Amino acid sequence: MPSRFVITLGCPDRTGIVARIASFLAEWGGWIVEAGYHTDPETGWFFTRQEVRADSLPFGVAELRERFARVADELGSTNWRVSDTSERRRVVLLVSKEGHCLHDLLGRVASGELDVDLRAVIGNHPRLRAITEAHGVPFHHVPFPSGTDQDAEDGAFHEVRALVEGHDPHAIVLARFMRIVPPEVCEEWAGRALNIHHSFLPSFAGARPYHQAYARGVKLVGATCHYVTPELDAGPIIEQDVTRVDHTDAATDMVRKGRDIEKIVLARGLRAHLEDRVLVHDKRTVVF
Amino acid sequence: MPSRFVITLGCPDRTGIVARIASFLAEWGGWIVEAGYHTDPETGWFFTRQEVRADSLPFGVAELRERFARVADELGSTNWRVSDTSERRRVVLLVSKEGHCLHDLLGRVASGELDVDLRAVIGNHPRLRAITEAHGVPFHHVPFPSGTDQDAEDGAFHEVRALVEGHDPHAIVLARFMRIVPPEVCEEWAGRALNIHHSFLPSFAGARPYHQAYARGVKLVGATCHYVTPELDAGPIIEQDVTRVDHTDAATDMVRKGRDIEKIVLARGLRAHLEDRVLVHDKRTVVF
Amino acid sequence: MPSRFVITLGCPDRTGIVARIASFLAEWGGWIVEAGYHTDPETGWFFTRQEVRADSLPFGVAELRERFARVADELGSTNWRVSDTSERRRVVLLVSKEGHCLHDLLGRVASGELDVDLRAVIGNHPRLRAITEAHGVPFHHVPFPSGTDQDAEDGAFHEVRALVEGHDPHAIVLARFMRIVPPEVCEEWAGRALNIHHSFLPSFAGARPYHQAYARGVKLVGATCHYVTPELDAGPIIEQDVTRVDHTDAATDMVRKGRDIEKIVLARGLRAHLEDRVLVHDKRTVVF
Amino acid sequence: MPSRFVITLGCPDRTGIVARIASFLAEWGGWIVEAGYHTDPETGWFFTRQEVRADSLPFGVAELRERFARVADELGSTNWRVSDTSERRRVVLLVSKEGHCLHDLLGRVASGELDVDLRAVIGNHPRLRAITEAHGVPFHHVPFPSGTDQDAEDGAFHEVRALVEGHDPHAIVLARFMRIVPPEVCEEWAGRALNIHHSFLPSFAGARPYHQAYARGVKLVGATCHYVTPELDAGPIIEQDVTRVDHTDAATDMVRKGRDIEKIVLARGLRAHLEDRVLVHDKRTVVF
């Protein structure tokens, strides 16, 4: 696919925003191939995402960014971005022992569906090393304390941070990492760290959601892909889905059926994030 | 459809239960047209529901009940029932101002899909009188206090109870009744009162669930049909479903989209209940 | 809701379209509250739909239409429209004996969810007269021949056309009308007549789709809302959905479960149509 | 999980079948842990599937089979089976170039979710060799003619058959194999060969279903897992599902979204087949 520049912007709503951006692009011959606009009436905030054919503009992404800065400034936006689809997205995965999300993402990369630069997989358990390396992806095992040794936990997270930062990733994916990320790491990874939680949040936050779901007798189980924030399982939701269960499903069946939803929800959420389709406003997301 | 006898039973699991019941029926020539069995491994409890052609047995429902009591006793069941599908199910609806569930149920009755004896609609507001009476169903307006006058509230519920009991209904359906049923009324209506809650429980129990859902930024909204118990919105769940929403949906759009799910979930839950398909065990249901 | 003007347009894609339209609106102070854009890469066709606050413009819908005509002309569009949401949409329903879609739409109108001017219901059978009139809507019975008397059929359709045209409706809804609309009537009603077909088209076009579905043993049944065109059940699809069935569902159960989907699919399709969200291009639709 | 014996049986419906089977099991102390019954009113055929704890019976699967034969005979069944869950299911996969279904199944096996003896993957293209072997599964490349050389085609299928038969598999899975299986091979593999077709059959049988779906403008795309029979894409359906698409989805997006459904539908269908949950009657399936 030919390269495209993606502009995303949020700003206070007023008349003329679409005209201002579109005229700016038209002036330089910019060919918009996809455009999304949204106004949130409750907050009076305007959001847009536009994809422009790179070859329709007489300059590159750096100059577009520089020139667009003035437009964004005029519109009062402090929350805009210009990116280039020809820059491959760098991704780091964080895993533990459960492999279904990892297997799924590796398969999507291998089959060409997910065209990313999968830089590394970091595991707090060594179990998933072999399959990761079989796909030609480096695996780092960072042991975590089994108990509540805070110093050891901090030390392990320190090592994870260092490994992650070395790759300057567009996305840090917690693919069933099963550790609570400390607030300062959440801060550092803000807007880049995605978690997959195995319930339809806000139901069943925290540990063992399928067992909570079983105990409550719900008729659907789900999964939620959200940005990681200091408050556990409370970050802005990117994507959710559910699947039907019934009384014949034991908690272990719910786990099995739920995993298919986790895989799909994570894959959709990650794709949306990497294509710069997700704009966060307060605790909610706009997903173009 | 020719008449059928429906047997439901829950008892401690052991070998030979299916044989015991099936042999009892076979002995009298009983022709089983539908049979469901379920064992819950966590609680060691066994559940069954069987439909037998009435004309295949040499006796009526009363004698079947009497004869089956011995079988149930042998199996240690304190929780069994024998009913006759030729006895039309009596239903009473409790409503307030929002008419979508009422319209839907009246439509299902009118089109013959829901073949019940809709005895009465009781409204805590007079707004839905005209449409109810246009369908030939009696409407009773029982005014409730707008504030927190406990005596007036108790008095109003007293009147509702009296009206309900006069019909000896198989189902008392809270179709967006919007009042909290007092514990002693819950007790009296136990196993017969169904509520439709406009969220995917346990998320967003209580008031204004769509607005809660909007604030949390979820990507699906749902509805739950459950038995009414003293703990608000915590009764055993009969049926649930969801529909997709996104950032373009304001809270009012969620209300609109959610209503379609409410209608379907209530209709499915009510049907299952009236066909004696729902067996409650602790806080969970088996829906055959 | 304050009144809005809705502009829809399709034209050959090129650079500057968004800028042209947005600048035109901005020049007059037009406040865009919702905007959708789509480019179909296969056909090179561009589509847009914009909602503008009526009170943000210094003129009314007639003048907006006149002024916009020049923009549309410049963009080479032969397929654009400007409408005013304050003009209530006029709707005529065509029915036969099955009432579930009619009940559903009447309920939506009565509860205020569907804010339309329901002008008339025309039935080829008198069965649904009472419920229609109970909702205060005029009902016309136009008898159709039971056999294949082409003259009688033509005569009946002639009468239906006359009744329909008298209302100059925005939408003519075939809510299980069960007669094949003659080509010249399709022509006359082009872009305004919506049908609900009780299968997930293109599977099971024609008669008795649920029985076809049962015979094939499918695991989902569905419904399709589409524009009526001379080729039976082949018009551009506006909306579809499905619901799960299994071996315990006889054809009659499929009918019952499918009806819930028919009602929802028709309601969604009709809403999209009446809000001018549906743009047709060849045999496909863009639904903003 | 402790070992279980699974009995499946289809026979003409009459009274006493459940009693006959249940009494037979009870006589030997058989502990039924799961039981499904179904009567098809159209064909008058009865179906059952029962799981019995192996350790509750005083004999093994061979003697159970021998003893049950008399019961089945009495009931007029020519279509029954007794199997032992402790015998690991042998599976052979047939693939071509598209790897998503293979990746998915390998991941399910690796994560322990699908506990089968994956004997071999046979590819008509060598592309998927590396990933297969990385999972420790033998890969056989059987080249097929690119044109219409019937002898070469027959020869290739001859080789595939020989490879398959060497494993005596419970399931032969065509995971996007992309060749039409000759009638005599269908015959040989009858009841054991499962195909995943990338559409919601019967819509879009044959080649390039997503492109057919795009051209028709449908709003959902789906997948179908069915038994392979000589008539292309017309075998009994085991499982189906769909996912929503809209006008923003090009045919390639439909391919991508549809793949997630293909993977899930195939996994569900295969699991049901391997657990002996699928009974075929004419062109329809009962899936317990």
Question: Under 8 Å CB-to-CB from B118, ≥6 apart: which residues?
Answer: B91, B93, B105, B106, B109, B135, B137
Contact A34 C39 (CB under 8 A): yes
The string of pLDDT tens digits covering residues A35-65 is: 999 999 889 999 999 999 999 999 999 999 9
Q: What is the pLDDT of residue A121?
A: 98
Are C161 and C182 in contact by the 8 Å Cβ rule? The answer is: no
Maximum Cα–Cα distance across chain B: 63
Residue D269 confidence (pLDDT): 98
3 state SS of C280: strand
- Listed residue (B22, D277, A257) closest to C247, CA to CA: D277
Q: Is C263 helix (H, G, I), strand (E, B) or coil?
A: helix
Mean pLDDT of C102-112: 96
Of C96, C100, C133, C255, which to mutate for an interface test with B (greatest number of B Cβ within 10 Å)? C100
CB-nearest partner of B26 from D15, D33, D36: D15
Distance from CA of A104 to the nearest CA of D (A): 7
Can you give chain D as a three-state secondary structure string? CCCEEEEEEEEECCCCHHHHHHHHHHHCCCCEEEEEEEEECCCCEEEEEEEEEHHHCCCCHHHHHHHHHHHHHHCCCCEEEEEECCCCCEEEEEECCCCHHHHHHHHHHHCCCCCCEEEEEEECCHHHHHHHHHCCCCEEECCCCCCCCHHHHHHHHHHHHHHHHCCCCCEEEECCCCCCCCHHHHHHCCCCEEEEECCCCCCCCCCCHHHHHHHHCCCEEEEEEEECCCCCCCCCEEEEEEEECCCCCCHHHHHHHHHHHHHHHHHHHHHHHHCCCEEEECCEEEEC
The burial class, CB within 10 Å (0-12 / 13-18 / 19+), for C10 is buried
Cα dist from B132 to A177, B101, B119, B120, C111, whole Å: 55, 12, 11, 9, 13
Chains that contact A by 3+ CB pairs under 8 Å? B, C, D
What residues of chain C lie within 8 A of the CB of B100, using their CB? 107-108, 111, 113
Test B18 with D20 for CB contact under 8 angstroms.
no
pLDDT greater than 80 at residue D256: yes
- CATH superfamily label, D90-287: Formyl transferase, N-terminal domain (3.40.50.170)
Q: Which tokens go with D49?
A: 């599937």
Are B107 and C103 within 8 A, CB to CB?
A: yes
Q: For residue C239, which residues of chain D lie inside 8 Å, CB to CB?
A: 219
C-alpha pair distances (Å), C7 with each of B40, C68, C71, C186, D176: 59, 9, 12, 25, 45
Residue C83 pLDDT class (50, 70, 90 cuts): very high
DSSP state of B114: S
Confidence at residue C198, expressed as pLDDT on a 0 to 100 scale: 96
Average pLDDT, chain B: 96
A-C interface: how many C-beta pairs under 8 angstroms?
A: 61
List of chains touching C (3+ CB pairs within 8 A): A, B, D
Which chain A residue has the Cα nearest residue C37? A35
Over 80: is that where the pLDDT of D206 sits?
yes
Is the CB of residue C215 less than 8 Å from the CB of residue C184? no
- Which one from B84, B154, B233, B282 is the annotated catalytic residue? B233
When pLDDT is averaged across residues D82-102 and rounded to a whole number, the result is 97
pLDDT at A282: 87
pLDDT for residue A1: 72
Residue A83 has what pLDDT? 98
Peptide bond into C230 cis (omega under 30): no
Instruction: State whether residue C4 is helix, strand or coil.
Output: strand
ipTM for the whole complex: 0.94
Q: Whole-angstrom Cα distance, residue C5 to residue C26?
A: 14
- Residue B119 above 80 pLDDT? yes
* Contacting residues of D for C202, CB less than 8 Å apart: 203-204, 216, 218
User: What local confidence, expressed as pLDDT, does residue B145 receive?
Assistant: 92
Interface test with C, best of A5, A32, A242, A257 (most C CBs within 10 A): A32
* A123 CB burial (10 A radius; 0-12, 13-18, 19+): buried
pLDDT of residue B146: 87
Q: Cα-flanking dihedrals φ and ψ of residue D49, to 5°?
A: -140, 130
| CB nearest to A113's CB, from D135, D256, D267 | D256
Predicted pLDDT of residue D147: 83
Mean pLDDT rounded to a whole number for chain A: 96
Nearest CB partner across the interface for C260, out of B110, B256, B264: B264
Rounded CA-CA distance B61/B81 in Å is 11
Measured between CB atoms, which of D15, D26, D35 is closest to B16? D26
| Bridge partners for D48 per DSSP | D9, D37
Which pLDDT band, with edges at 50, 70 and 90, does B164 fall under? Answer: very high
Cβ B107–C111 below 8 Å, yes or no? no
The single-letter DSSP state of residue A72 is: H
Domain definitions of chain C by residue range? 4-84, 90-287
* Confidence at D2, pLDDT banded by 50, 70, 90: confident
- Give me the catalytic one of A40, A73, A115, A233: A233
Do residue C23 and residue A25 have CB atoms under 8 angstroms apart? no
Q: Which residue of B has its CA nearest to C1?
A: B252
**The token pair that represents C145 in the structure block:** 């021949």
Known catalytic residues of C?
A: 233
Is the dihedral angle over the CA atoms A109, A110, A113, A115 positive or is it negative?
A: positive
One-letter identity of residue A130: A
Say whether B275 sits in a helix, a strand or coil.
Answer: coil
DSSP state of C124: S
Residues of D in contact with B34 (CB under 8 A): 37, 39
- Which two structure tokens, joined as six digits, stand for A245? 């269960």
Q: Which of A189, A198, A255 is nearest to A227 (CA)?
A: A189
* CA–CA min distance A75, chain B (Å): 22
Q: Cβ of A111 and D134 within 8 Å?
A: no
* Binary contact (C217, D201; C-beta < 8 A): no
From chain D, the residues in CB contact with B11 under 8 A are: none
pLDDT tens-digit readout, B43-54:
999 999 999 999
Residue-level pLDDT at B286: 97
**Measured between CB atoms, which of B217, B242, B246 is closest to A236?**
B217
Confidence of residue C2 (pLDDT cuts 50, 70, 90): confident
The number of C-beta contacts closer than 8 angstroms across B and D is 61
Q: What is the pLDDT of residues C268-278, one digit of tens each?
A: 999 999 999 99
Q: Beta-carbon neighbour count of residue A235 at 10 Å?
A: 25
Give residue-wise pLDDT tens across range B32-75.
999 999 999 889 999 999 999 999 999 999 999 999 999 999 99
Which residue of D247, D281, D283 is the best one to mutate when testing the C interface, meaning the one whose CB has the most C CBs within 10 A? D247
Structure tokens at C276: 């001018």
The answer to whether the beta carbons of residues A56 and C56 sit under 8 Å apart is no
Identical fold for domains A4-84 and A90-287, yes or no, is: no
In a mutagenesis test of the A interface, which of D103, D131, D132, D270 is the best target, namely the one with the most A β-carbons within 10 Å? Answer: D103
**CA angle (D144 as vertex; D138, D145 as ends), nearest 5:** 160
Say what the pLDDT of residue B259 is.
97
Position D248 scores a pLDDT of 95
Which residues in chain B have their CB less than 8 angstroms from residue C259's CB?
A: 113
Chain A residues near residue C32 by CB distance under 8 angstroms: 15, 18, 37
**Of C257, C197, C263, C202, which Cα lies nearest the Cα of C227?**
C197
How many CB atoms are closer than 10 A to CB A44?
10
CATH domain B4-84 topology: Alpha-Beta Plaits (3.30.70)
Q: What is the DSSP string of B234-255?
A: -SPEEEEEEEE--TT--HHHHH
Mean pLDDT of A129-138: 96
Token pair of B189 as six digits? 């209506």
D264 Cβ contact list (under 8 Å, min separation 6): A260, A264, D223, D241
Of the partner residues D15, D30, D33, the one whose CB lies closest to the CB of residue B29: D15
CB contact under 8 A, A135 and D134: yes
**In the predicted model, is pLDDT for residue D276 greater than 90?**
yes
Residue of D nearest to B16 (CA): D26
User: Where does the pLDDT of residue C146 fall: very low under 50, low under 70, confident under 90, or very high at 90 and above?
Assistant: confident
Please report residues of C whose CB lies closer than 8 A to that of B113: 100, 256, 259
Question: Mean pLDDT over residues A219-224, rounded?
Answer: 98
For residues B273 and B171, the answer to whether their CB atoms sit within 8 Å is: yes
Measured distance CA(C15)–CA(A31) in Å, rounded: 5
Phi/psi for C264 (5° steps) reads -70, -45
Per-residue CA distances from C266 to C121, C198, C270, D145 (Å): 16, 10, 6, 49
Nearest CA-CA partner of C18 in A78, A40, A52, A6: A52
**Neighbouring residues of C39: CB distance < 8 A, sequence distance ≥ 6:** A32, A33, A34, C13, C45, C46, C47
Predicted pLDDT of residue A281: 92
Q: Residue D183 contacts by C-beta under 8 Å, 6 or more apart in sequence? A: D230
Give the start-end residues of each E strand in chain A: 4-12, 32-40, 45-53, 79-84, 90-95, 117-123, 139-141, 171-174, 193-197, 220-227, 237-244, 278-281, 284-287
Nearest CA in chain A to C26: A16
Q: Which residues of D touch A108 (CB under 8 A)?
A: 100, 103
Q: Residues of chain D whose C-beta is under 8 A from some C-beta in C?
A: 38, 40-42, 200-204, 215-220, 222, 236-237, 239-242, 246-248, 250, 283-287
Q: Residue D249 is encoded by which pair of tokens?
A: 């989805």
For the cut 90, the answer to whether the pLDDT of residue A2 exceeds it is no
- Is the confidence at residue B1, as pLDDT, over 80? no
The Cα B130–Cα A168 span in angstroms is 66
Residue with tokens 């499905």: C242
CA–CA dist C197, C174 (Å, integer): 9
Quote the CA–CA distance of B285 and A211 in Å, as a whole number.
Answer: 16
CB spacing of D284 vs C247 below 8 angstroms: yes
Q: Which residues of A touch D108 (CB under 8 A)?
A: 100, 103
User: What tokens were used for C147?
Assistant: 């056999």
Q: Which pLDDT does position D31 carry in this prediction?
A: 93
Using one digit for the tens of pLDDT, what is the confidence trace for A136-182? 999 999 999 988 899 999 999 999 999 999 999 999 999 999 999 99
Taking residues A121-132, report their average pLDDT.
97
CB A51 within 8 A of CB A21: no
- Whether residue D166 contacts residue D84, with contact meaning beta carbons closer than 8 Å, is answered with no
